[in-house]
Structure 1
């Protein structure tokens, strides 16, 4: 496949062949005995150790060959290309599709092999930045929808509503049936909306807020976000590439670093950036709280709360581990991430994350005032310099490289499988 260490790659292929034989002869994952699970687990472990050693040496050359005839591939496209060009390096689409059709508890866990490959690519000082740049470019869907949005100033999807009014883009999360708990459809809609807000020259500032809910407990109330949709995770519909990595390297990073696109000022600023305001009603849980860390200004109703229940859910809270301590300091970040501490908007420690707390009925007016304040031309330049100092691209790359594998492993942890199973029968 690549020059050098042929014995290592041959051994990795032999180990993969053993895994293939075991998968073909053993029952489906859910029907395996403890001994059979141990046997296949040991075989996968050995194969992954050899493949990891090979990728440590050759990930950069592999990436270069996969992208040499392209302007750059997004994460999903890169995985497909690697499976096609270098069989055995990552799972093929048929394996990923077969796993996708199963509940999380019944999968083989081929996404761990995707995470292994992506960690190696993102670790590379050349390949990693190139891949992250590809994820900062506008999606094809956004490019297709842009002319209509420029004409009407409105985008409606099942998950979001984007409206342009007086130089401000109002992005409302509208999954009223599930308290704005994110799934892959919502991640796609969010990235599309963020792209459009950044591409539209008539937008100077963007506001993110949750819409009114139809959930029985919160009917008629606005809710910011309940985080990851654990019902969809239990069902096997939350993927590493299409949700967890796309979310972090796609719309969330675009909110911070901007959109990589050719524009009039490309010679002095490679991305198009705009300030983001978050307005929190009721709660921002998990991924909802993570979004706040990507915003320039956070407003909250006095009865709202924030929390990152990573310990309860068992997964890594995205780039929350990377960003939270910068806002709160290490002690509070550990209390929140490791201990599940809930921060109420009105308590003093929450002011590390929230800029302004108002009574619930006053949040609309506070949002309008904040949007006017952040429309100053100097805001974009200064937020760029702040983000350059606070979140250097190389530091983010190193974090997200390790996240790619560690999150993949957590997806298949027995504790995670057990916990998300409790959500199977819930209505939202």
Structure 2
């Protein structure tokens, strides 16, 4: 073995934990110095795929120490950090920009842009797991009531991309995005998933396109109701059939292409929450009914709604399913947390059924009596279009918007949503890097590769 091939020496353990005293300026310097020390230990090691067991234990110890320091720093300074980043909460900054800004303004508090970019060059199993540090920051921000509420507002604002497309959409009634098509038909805007190469599985692109689509629907005054439906597939097994959603794209998860901030957390704070609670169009207004634009939403489920697809149904006002369709939340199989499914499914279907679905992997077919707990209308495939049109007519009634707003307020208060997401931010990102999840997605990817 050559000198170049010899394993790097195992670094000594991290220095003793830093001492924070509650002064933001001083503690910021202490954190930066301590994080730099931990990074220096990591820099002496090979990249994760080339480490031996002893070297990986040293890396794990360095990350554990730096994460403990971040938690201790945030326990004292979460509000002050957020105020510094948002200029005293005078600016609404979306989460992806906020976590990178935090890394610049408070060195060591979160991974830098370059560190995250480097991580994206590895498959999930070979990453350092720096998104875990983003999860620590996001969880702390959401856990603080005033800060979390302001951040939620930021994520409910219209996206700049929707602003760029709005005039054309209003004029033509059509917006064709990479994975989504939006078409205005009468008083309804039909949002069709067209991620056809993967059975409408969710990836970073689909999440971004869906938020743009939802913004357009909510900003167009000629639209009263939004309709979600999967487009026709081009994969041989389902060619010509509509599919609602296959859930998270596990191939992308394995390959390290699923973003924590943009996907795993962003979809909950972004387009799904906008559908549920409304688009923030007047942040200065104290009345939620006046500060947000809300509309009714219909889901038309053909073939299946798996994982994130089923999660989506839990915020809709009317769900119409074909008789041969089924729904499932395979969280036990995948090993990750099914978004806000754990918060919402029990409310709709009862705690016992929620446990059977989430913990036991139970699949609900439209022939099951329990299907009526998550779907409103179950019809033959040939009658789906007619059933959707009837639902659009009913949900366009003037009193619907006010009543759905009050129902949502009673069923899921904002603080409940915020507190759940604070824990979700930490739990979900940890699961995405856990050994069992990595093994499952690798095994599934190997099976898929062997069939091609």
Distance 1:195 1:6 in 2: 39
Q: Are the equivalent residues in 1 in contact too, given 2:32–2:106 (CA < 8 A)?
A: no
Deviation of 1:43 (Å): 2.0
Displacement of 1:23 in angstroms is 1.8
Q: Does 1:19 align with 2:47?
A: no
CA RMSD of aligned residues (A): 2.0
Give the CA deviation at 1:12. 4.6
Matched residue SS, 2:311: helix
Structure 2 distance, partners of 1:8, 1:393, is 32
Please state if 1:424 is matched with 2:450.
Answer: no
CA contact (8 A) 2:31 2:109 kept: no
**2:417 paired with 1:396:** yes
Does the 8 Å contact 1:8/1:50 carry over to 2? Answer: no
Which of 184, 188, 211 is the aligned partner of 2:204?
184
Match of 1:256 in 2: 276
Does the alignment pair 1:297 with 2:313? no
Q: Deviations over 1:63-83 (max 9, x none)?
A: 011001752100011011111
For 1:1-400, list aligned pairs within 5 A: 3-4=22-23, 12-13=31-32, 15-68=34-87, 70-262=90-282, 268-400=289-421
Give unpaired runs (5+ residues) of structure 2.
Answer: 1-19
Supply the distance in 2 between the matched residues of 1:71 and 1:19 (Cα, whole angstroms): 33
Q: 1: distance between equivalents of 2:32 and 2:87? A: 25
Q: Give the whole-Å Cα distance in 2 for the aligned partners of 1:191 and 1:261.
A: 15
SS at match of 2:290: coil
CA–CA separation in structure 1 for the residues paired with 2:383 and 2:263: 34
Deviation at 1:16, TM superposition (A): 2.3
| TM-score in terms of structure 1 length | 0.96
Residues 55 and 120 of structure 1 are in contact (CA less than 8 Å); yes or no, is this contact kept in structure 2? yes
Larger RCO (alpha carbons 8 Å, 6+ apart)? 1
| CA deviation string 1:129-156 (max 9, x = no partner) | 0000000000000001000000000011
Instruction: Quote the Cα distance in structure 2 between the aligned partners of 1:94 and 1:419.
Output: 29
Checking the alignment, whether the CA contact within 8 Å between 1:80 and 1:93 is kept in structure 2 is yes
Cα displacement (A) at 1:361: 1.2
Q: Which whole-Å CA distance do the structure 2 matches of 1:266 and 1:275 have between them?
A: 22
C-alpha displacement of 1:6: 8.1
- Structure 1 portions without partners, runs of 5+: none
**Bigger mean CA offset, 403-412 vs 254-263:** 254-263
- Select between 303-312 and 3-12 the one with higher mean Cα deviation: 3-12
**Residues in 2 aligned to 1:262 and 1:365: alpha-carbon distance in whole angstroms:** 36
How far, CA to CA, are the matches of 2:27 and 2:163 in structure 1?
44
1:245 to partner: Cα distance: 1.0
**Could you say which residue in structure 1 is the equivalent of 2:4?**
none
**What's the CA shift string for 1:268-293, capped at 9, x where partnerless?**
52200000000100000000001001
Q: Give the conservation status (yes or no) of the 8 Å contact 1:72–1:131.
A: yes
Aligned mates of 2:183, 2:410 — CA distance in 1: 32
| Larger Cα-atom Rg | 2
1:424 shift after superposition = 3.1
Matches of 1:390 and 1:400, distance apart in 2: 16
TM-superposed CA distance for 1:32, in Å, is 1.4
1:258 touches 1:272 (CA, 8 Å); kept in 2? yes
**Conserved in 2, the CA contact under 8 Å of 1:210 and 1:223?**
yes
Give the aligned partner of residue 5 of structure 2. none
Equivalent pair of 1:15/1:46 in contact (CA under 8 Å) = no
